[in-house]
Amino acid sequence: MTETTPKGFASDNNAGVHPEILKAMVLANTGHTRAYGDDPFTRRAVDKFKKLLGETIEVYFVFLGTGANVLALQAATRPFHSVICAETAHIHVDECGAPEKFTGCKLLTIPAPDGKITVDGIKAHLHGIGFEHHAQPRVVSITQPTELGTVYTPEEIRRLTDFAHENGLIVHMDGARIANAAAALNVNLRDITADAGIDLLSFGGAKNGMMYGEAVVFFNADSARDFKYIRKQSMQLASKMRFISVQFEALLTDDLWWKNASHANAMAKLLAREVERIPGIRITRKVESNGVFAVLPPHLIPGLQRKYFFYVWNESASEVRWMTSFDTTPEEVFDFIESLRQAVAET
Amino acid sequence: MTETTPKGFASDNNAGVHPEILKAMVLANTGHTRAYGDDPFTRRAVDKFKKLLGETIEVYFVFLGTGANVLALQAATRPFHSVICAETAHIHVDECGAPEKFTGCKLLTIPAPDGKITVDGIKAHLHGIGFEHHAQPRVVSITQPTELGTVYTPEEIRRLTDFAHENGLIVHMDGARIANAAAALNVNLRDITADAGIDLLSFGGAKNGMMYGEAVVFFNADSARDFKYIRKQSMQLASKMRFISVQFEALLTDDLWWKNASHANAMAKLLAREVERIPGIRITRKVESNGVFAVLPPHLIPGLQRKYFFYVWNESASEVRWMTSFDTTPEEVFDFIESLRQAVAET
Amino acid sequence: MTETTPKGFASDNNAGVHPEILKAMVLANTGHTRAYGDDPFTRRAVDKFKKLLGETIEVYFVFLGTGANVLALQAATRPFHSVICAETAHIHVDECGAPEKFTGCKLLTIPAPDGKITVDGIKAHLHGIGFEHHAQPRVVSITQPTELGTVYTPEEIRRLTDFAHENGLIVHMDGARIANAAAALNVNLRDITADAGIDLLSFGGAKNGMMYGEAVVFFNADSARDFKYIRKQSMQLASKMRFISVQFEALLTDDLWWKNASHANAMAKLLAREVERIPGIRITRKVESNGVFAVLPPHLIPGLQRKYFFYVWNESASEVRWMTSFDTTPEEVFDFIESLRQAVAET
Amino acid sequence: MTETTPKGFASDNNAGVHPEILKAMVLANTGHTRAYGDDPFTRRAVDKFKKLLGETIEVYFVFLGTGANVLALQAATRPFHSVICAETAHIHVDECGAPEKFTGCKLLTIPAPDGKITVDGIKAHLHGIGFEHHAQPRVVSITQPTELGTVYTPEEIRRLTDFAHENGLIVHMDGARIANAAAALNVNLRDITADAGIDLLSFGGAKNGMMYGEAVVFFNADSARDFKYIRKQSMQLASKMRFISVQFEALLTDDLWWKNASHANAMAKLLAREVERIPGIRITRKVESNGVFAVLPPHLIPGLQRKYFFYVWNESASEVRWMTSFDTTPEEVFDFIESLRQAVAET
């Protein structure tokens, strides 16, 4: 169809839906089933999550990633709390202030040149504890992989969660692309969540081949007690829930989540490897998941964007971001590389 | 598939997706397109809305009906305002307090035995104007059709909007099932919205054959100025927007919205006609759209629910609600009637 | 001074400050003391409260009555809860929507012709429990005396609190004029609070001779755990706290709170007794505390207001409210009665 | 009285009330006057403000400084906006997250080693304009004098306001100690507010000799249109308003505000001059208003605090803050210096 731009490198959410997932949605479109999640599709999807992440979790489906993040934070806080995160965090930069609006909490940011926060960064915000004039730190939120494409190792996560727990803090993981992190590290999802001390997880779907739908996972089921009310009041309870549930069921079947993510990662590696050979273009961040950041001459950007759309990450530095997705093909990568090469050559 | 309960009369959102709509979603799953609504699918769907409701409208797609209502109210208010509605209104009864939480406004209710409010009902709340101790009335919200299945005529709406406008109030319509109202009245959508003085509309999709997706329509485009920020901050901006947009495009093509709705209405009429012939069951509300309310002996209810699921509306009165939908068949209605008849006979 | 209108019957908060209280404030103005309540004045005032209401209470001072009410509700709720109150309640009618804005909760009102709510009134709102679409009832709030000047007996309160507690609800008392209730009933403050099952109390100061300052009293100290943060974040933590504390200390010394209140009550009784003798003026509510409601010919009102200011309570019924206060004198009552008599006679 | 600690250097809000102000309060305690600000005391105080700051201002009295700041921000924003301030700003550090809770806005901080922000600091946050994923910058808030005791010159303010206005931003000044700034600069209040481009001002009272009460000043009266509702809903409308108003009237009469502030400033200068002569104590910030920051050996601090209470500003650096106030005497300064000298000598 002419309406879709040719595949580009703008974002994994510019992609469509993985065929297996779409097929599951089509097959689910039969008869009536109870709305709002009281249905067998949802029970099966929840079971898949429990197999993957632990039998004692609680998992709730919501519409979108911002919703998953904000609702997870709301479940864990009261308005006089604060949330500590990287200054590049999606919750700080890309959610139009939704966390503040809906939780009432203050966000405290940590400089994070590579997207990752450290114990020292958290420590800098741990003052005024018990002092009523000061919003009380309550949650540390990390993104895995980070917004800059880097990945926390299980050990790095453990260091953060141990420190956080010793200081009475809960750790939330924004896992909008968590599958890419697991695939990149070649570990189980548990290794970077439950077993690394994560308390609360936003589990991403739309960036890994789903149409819509994300999940909020509680590793401590107690803390999910009131969550059903929070989800409804926060406008994240889908009536025809089965169509989110079957997407997750398909994604978690036969390791589709892993395959999609590792493919996207591989395409990013390929792209990065080829880009490195082009003089005049410099890769700026470690390529650890499915994003490649690079600086290139600014006048080349508009022409390239016309063929393969992508976003400028940092205008003043002429730094762009190229994202690969489950459906990126090697041919597209090579074709894009060719375009890059020509553009540079013509300069 | 065994996972779906047999079709029932619980709610139009227990139904699946209309085949034409699902087909459009499948066809849209090709290539990449820009996320968040900057795409040709969305532009086409918006054009369909403009053809239907007026070229000067602004329309924004959101995930769900509660989201449409709450965001519409937020666009029209500041926290010191109040919103006047029927005591049966979805925004008051069925949204877990989302309007209060997200707008900060007070809801003021009007007794509405048939689901409809009147000028006198509004008038009773118009005091304390300009008095800072009192939340200032700002919006009147009506539901069309009402939660009790009744329908406002264009003239009834006009009386309310005229009075509201004379008193500096904005009128919002919760049109989760607006198609059913238009079909029932045999009028254009404009007749019961723009041309009847409605300022703000929640336009329903999921209850009329869509998978997910509702629209907020501003009849005064000026008042939509900041709405894109409100939508994002309120967690209602879909990344893969095209899949909402093509649903609306399909729904608004070849009058599918009308066909679905008038079919559902017809099935409700049929159901009501047949029920009236059964002694011991009493229909309690005018059947004007796709819902039938009836009182029946309480001990019959559980058995009937096992075969055709439906909800008890008012436990103490033993009043139940039967909803029909775009996919209800006459056979199902007659079969259900047969079950009712038998149940009554066996008593 | 010419700036003060002659004493009127508008409200007990049109009065000034009781001389003993003002004296205490003047005497407290010596040297430096720690801000925000970490001072000996505050400790002494808290001790006075504990002697009066129980050693295990927690008490926090705030600036004003709306603040006391809203903060008490916030301590007891999460945003998906609802608060049940009389439709005449100050929290519903006179706080410009502050409870909704700051707690996020829905307010559910009960018709209360005499200002008092009943078990049946509460019961009518106890549905949808555990149903996530419905804001969950959490607090019952009663006003003592009510906004209509009536007073709950200890037994009436106990019936409400027993029922509430059986249903998992907390009971808050808006005691902006609680002293007037205790004096009217000739009971201890404990009889109508702790011993009657009240969980949370807004204890009024400004309407009983203080300049400013109210108290939030927790009868269950556990539920006050985070309240210091709520008070600060809600902009109710006074820096020079000693000047609130010494007012409360004075008010609670030598039964000044009781004397002020019983004097005001007596003046209302006197006023009511004399008004009843004037033909053409009809008292509309039981006079149980310090307010008198009456219907009189509308054309008389403006002339009377010029001499003794008071408010029209219900314009359409020509019903006015006359409040007495700690400083109302019998001479003023008789003089006002004389004015009323003349006005009626001249008609 | 034994309850007051001897005067210390903890904070200007540990001081009491200036005798002239207390006298005015006592004199105002006569007869009845209308509540909530509809009274001649308030009108006179407002007139005083207009004489001082401009006839076209709107001014509203509130209870406390946090209230003034938060309400000013709320008047200027919608929840999807952001507020830019120094990382040391009171609104960021000392208000327990009240700005986020009550406005819904995000706070964006600027590193400010001397407490002052610069155009470059603002500029760094001006990205994502018009991009719905990003909270939209709307207000720049500066503190005058800053939390570190430094003072913006009129030219410095003008540079900030010019830049802000060019970029569609409003400028708020937290003037909790604005009198100290004016006195320090030897300028009129207008020179550092209206005439320097300030749009919104929190005007402090309690830190300059008042008991309680601050003012929100709108230099553009239009933007105050709905403020009376915001004040009431935000729990900042005093019933017995006259007692705030007469304090302001007294403060603004015969330049009392100036005298108090310049005295406090002079005492800080004296303290700083003498401290500089003591070896082993190092002053860390420019002394431009009524605060002195110094580093001294940590083991000396507890002993000194017992005699003259003060706060540690930065534990890890052993940096303390000494504040002077309207009632600090030279004798107290010299006595404190003597204590310091002895403590250092005994080491």
Please give the Cα distance from B213 to B247 (Å, whole number).
8
Q: Which element (helix H / strand E) includes C86?
A: strand C81-86
Looking at residue B7, its pLDDT comes to 82
Say if A8 is an interface residue toward chain B (CB within 8 Å): yes
Q: Is the pLDDT of residue A5 over 80?
A: no
Would residue D12 count as lying in a domain?
Answer: no
Q: Tokens in use for A261?
A: 């993510």
Q: Is the pLDDT of residue A1 over 80?
A: no
**Shared-domain flag, residues C68 and C102:** yes
Which neighbouring-strand residues pair with C295?
A: C282, C319
Looking at residue B4, its pLDDT comes to 52
**Shared-domain flag, residues A181 and A150:** yes
Please give the Cα distance from A170 to A105 (Å, whole number).
14
Backbone angles phi, psi at C92, to 5 degrees: -90, -40
Question: Nearest CB to A228: which of C79, C132, C237?
Answer: C132
Please give the Cα distance from B13 to B46 (Å, whole number).
24
Say if C302 is an interface residue toward chain D (CB within 8 Å): no
The count of other CB atoms within 10 Å of the CB of residue A210 is 25
* Rg over CA atoms, chain A: 20
The count of other CB atoms within 10 Å of the CB of residue C114 is 14
**Shared-domain flag, residues B52 and B144:** yes
**Shared-domain flag, residues B61 and B137:** yes
Say if B238 is an interface residue toward chain D (CB within 8 Å): no
Backbone angles phi, psi at A108, to 5 degrees: -115, 125
Where do runs of H (alpha helix) occur along C118-276? 119-123, 154-166, 178-185, 227-233, 242-251, 256-276
Say if D134 is an interface residue toward chain A (CB within 8 Å): yes
**Shared-domain flag, residues B269 and B186:** no
When scoring D46, D239, D311 by the number of chain C Cβ atoms within 10 A, the one with the most, hence best to mutate, is D239
Question: In this complex, do C233 and D96 lie within 8 Å of one another by their Cβ atoms?
Answer: yes
Say if A147 is an interface residue toward chain D (CB within 8 Å): no
Three state DSSP letters for C198-215: CCEEEECCHHHCCCCCEE
Say if A93 is an interface residue toward chain B (CB within 8 Å): no
Looking at residue B1, its pLDDT comes to 38
Q: Look up the CATH number of the domain holding residue C295.
A: 3.90.1150.10
**Shared-domain flag, residues A155 and A60:** yes
pLDDT digits 0-9 by tens, A288-297? 999 999 999 9
Chain D hits for B78, CB-CB cut-off 8 Å, are: 226, 229
Say if A111 is an interface residue toward chain D (CB within 8 Å): no
Chain C hits for D207, CB-CB cut-off 8 Å, are: 239
pLDDT digits 0-9 by tens, D152-171? 999 999 999 999 999 999 99
Number of domains in chain A: 2
Q: Name the residue with tokens 């009272």.
A: D205
Question: Nearest CB to B35: which of A11, A234, A236?
Answer: A11
Question: Nearest CB to C132: which of A133, A135, A237?
Answer: A237
Looking at residue C193, its pLDDT comes to 98
CA distance A68 to chain C (A): 18
Q: What percent of chain A has pLDDT over 90?
A: 95
Question: In this complex, do C243 and D98 lie within 8 Å of one another by their Cβ atoms?
Answer: no
Looking at residue A307, its pLDDT comes to 87
Q: Is the pLDDT of residue A213 over 90?
A: yes
Chain A hits for B7, CB-CB cut-off 8 Å, are: 31-32
When scoring D78, D90, D100 by the number of chain A Cβ atoms within 10 A, the one with the most, hence best to mutate, is D100
Q: Is the pLDDT of residue C3 over 50?
A: no
Question: In this complex, do C134 and B94 lie within 8 Å of one another by their Cβ atoms?
Answer: yes
CA atoms lying within 13 Å on the CB side of residue D222: 0
For chain B, which ranges sit under pLDDT 70?
A: 1-5
Would residue B93 count as lying in a domain?
Answer: yes
Say if B80 is an interface residue toward chain C (CB within 8 Å): yes
pLDDT digits 0-9 by tens, C97-132? 999 999 999 999 999 999 999 999 999 999 999 999
| Packing angle, helices A330-346 and A256-276, rounded to 10 | 20
Say if C7 is an interface residue toward chain D (CB within 8 Å): yes
Confidence of residue C5 (pLDDT cuts 50, 70, 90): low
CA distance A130 to chain C (A): 9
- Of the three residues B215, B232, B251, the one that is the final residue of a domain is B251
Question: Nearest CB to A133: which of D81, D94, D100?
Answer: D94
Question: In this complex, do B134 and C94 lie within 8 Å of one another by their Cβ atoms?
Answer: yes
What does the buried/exposed string (b/e) look like for A242-251 if buried means 16 or more CB atoms within 10 Å of the residue's CB?
bbbbbbbbbb
Looking at residue D37, its pLDDT comes to 95
pLDDT digits 0-9 by tens, B196-219? 999 999 999 999 999 999 999 999
Please give the Cα distance from A333 to A340 (Å, whole number).
10
- Of the three residues A251, A266, A296, the one that is the final residue of a domain is A251
In chain A, the residue whose alpha carbon lies closest to the alpha carbon of D102 is A104
Please give the Cα distance from D322 to D341 (Å, whole number).
16
| Packing angle, helices A40-53 and A242-251, rounded to 10 | 30
Chain D hits for B231, CB-CB cut-off 8 Å, are: 132
Say if B94 is an interface residue toward chain C (CB within 8 Å): yes
Say if A63 is an interface residue toward chain B (CB within 8 Å): yes
Q: Which domain holds residue A214?
A: 18-251
**Shared-domain flag, residues D185 and D57:** yes
Cα angle: D146, vertex D147, D149; to 5 degrees: 65
Q: Is the ipTM here above 0.85? A: yes
Which residues 150-189 of A have a C-beta within 8 angstroms of B?
none
Q: Is the pLDDT of residue A180 over 50?
A: yes
Distances (CA, A) of D85 to A57, A149, B184, C289: 41, 30, 56, 50
Average pLDDT over residues A185-207: 98
Say if D96 is an interface residue toward chain A (CB within 8 Å): yes
Would residue C95 count as lying in a domain?
Answer: yes
Looking at residue B5, its pLDDT comes to 60
- What mean pLDDT is reported for chain D? 96
- What mean pLDDT is reported for chain A? 96
When scoring D11, D101, D127, D134 by the number of chain A Cβ atoms within 10 A, the one with the most, hence best to mutate, is D101
CA distance A252 to chain C (A): 27
Confidence of residue C307 (pLDDT cuts 50, 70, 90): confident
Looking at residue D5, its pLDDT comes to 61
**Shared-domain flag, residues B207 and B281:** no
**Shared-domain flag, residues C290 and C214:** no
Looking at residue D3, its pLDDT comes to 45
Look up the pTM and report it: 0.97
Looking at residue A311, its pLDDT comes to 94
Looking at residue C1, its pLDDT comes to 39
Would residue C270 count as lying in a domain?
Answer: yes
Looking at residue C347, its pLDDT comes to 76
pLDDT digits 0-9 by tens, C234-285? 999 999 999 999 999 999 999 999 999 999 999 999 999 999 999 999 999 9
- Ramachandran quadrant class, A142 (left: phi over 0; alpha: psi -120 to 50; beta: rest): beta
Residue D68 CB burial class (10 angstroms; 0-12, 13-18, ≥19): buried
Say if C111 is an interface residue toward chain B (CB within 8 Å): no
Average pLDDT over residues D308-334: 95
Looking at residue A4, its pLDDT comes to 52
In chain B, the residue whose alpha carbon lies closest to the alpha carbon of A91 is B233
Which neighbouring-strand residues pair with B5?
A: A32
The count of other CB atoms within 10 Å of the CB of residue D299 is 10
Question: Nearest CB to A97: which of D80, D94, D96?
Answer: D80
**Shared-domain flag, residues B294 and B229:** no
Q: What percent of chain D has pLDDT over 70?
A: 99
Question: Nearest CB to B105: which of C93, C100, C109?
Answer: C100
Would residue A129 count as lying in a domain?
Answer: yes
Confidence of residue D347 (pLDDT cuts 50, 70, 90): confident
Looking at residue C346, its pLDDT comes to 87
In chain B, the residue whose alpha carbon lies closest to the alpha carbon of A233 is B98
Q: What percent of chain C has pLDDT over 70?
A: 99
* DSSP state letter for C115: S
- Of the three residues B220, B251, B282, the one that is the final residue of a domain is B251
Question: In this complex, do A66 and B232 lie within 8 Å of one another by their Cβ atoms?
Answer: yes
Would residue D2 count as lying in a domain?
Answer: no
Say if A93 is an interface residue toward chain D (CB within 8 Å): yes
Which residues 15-44 of D have a C-beta within 8 angstroms of C?
15-17, 19, 22, 25-35, 39-41, 44
Say if C149 is an interface residue toward chain D (CB within 8 Å): no
Question: Nearest CB to D132: which of A96, A104, A134?
Answer: A96
Would residue D109 count as lying in a domain?
Answer: yes
**Shared-domain flag, residues C59 and C147:** yes
Which residues 241-280 of B have a C-beta within 8 angstroms of A?
242-243
Would residue D125 count as lying in a domain?
Answer: yes
Say if C93 is an interface residue toward chain B (CB within 8 Å): yes
Q: Is the pLDDT of residue D312 over 60?
A: yes
pLDDT digits 0-9 by tens, C66-94? 999 999 999 999 999 999 999 999 999 99
pLDDT digits 0-9 by tens, A214-245? 999 999 989 999 999 999 999 999 999 999 99
When scoring C36, C73, C80 by the number of chain A Cβ atoms within 10 A, the one with the most, hence best to mutate, is C80
**Shared-domain flag, residues B76 and B96:** yes
Q: Look up the CATH number of the domain holding residue C223.
A: 3.40.640.10
Q: Is the pLDDT of residue D142 over 60?
A: yes
Question: Nearest CB to B132: which of D79, D136, D229?
Answer: D229
Q: Is the pLDDT of residue C4 over 90?
A: no
